[in-house]
Amino acid sequence: MLRIKKEVVKQIKEQGEKGYPYEICGFLIGDIDYANNVRTVLEAYQVENRNKERANDRFEIDPKDYLKVEDYAGKKSLMIVGIYHTHPDHPDRPSQTDLRFAQPDMSYIILSVKEGKADRWRSWELDGNEFKEEKVELI
Ligand SMILES: [Zn+2]
């Protein structure tokens, strides 16, 4: 399950609208309660979408950005708990590509941006080899 600050959701929506018609992406920063499988998101850290050829329907994160954000979170005694990205003019459901790069114990927020306006969003987690929608609580 995911707990996320309302302000963070607002930021992600703003970033998604600003980045439209391209996919934007970033890291969810906070902490993880492994015993109860609860991830809490306190901050969103946007990084560049490295996929320039198909930025309208693919995203790619530079491993250097991953290390940079991990370091940033560590300094605040926080960690990366997930990744968010947008689906311009597509539903808030993970694609096959999203599934291929997904890792366990992480939350994947997908925000649909329709005609430049933030629309629905959901959070997903890996369940075996598939994505399962997870419960979200706004804090
Ligand atoms: Zn996607």
Model confidence at 89: pLDDT above 90: yes
> 58 CA to middle of ligand 1, Å?
6
Sorted by where each begins, the domain ranges of the chain are 2-138
Beta-bridge partners for 113? 88, 118
pLDDT tens digits for range 73-84: 999 999 999 999
* DSSP codes, 65-106: HHHHHHHHHHHTT-EEEEEEEEEETS-SS--HHHHHH--TT-
Write down the mean pLDDT value for the chain. Answer: 96
* Segment 100-118 mean pLDDT: 96
* CATH number at 2-138: 3.40.140.10
Interatomic CA distance for residues 122 and 132, integer angstroms: 10
Cβ atoms < 10 Å from Cβ of 11: 17
> 84 CA to middle of ligand 1, Å?
9
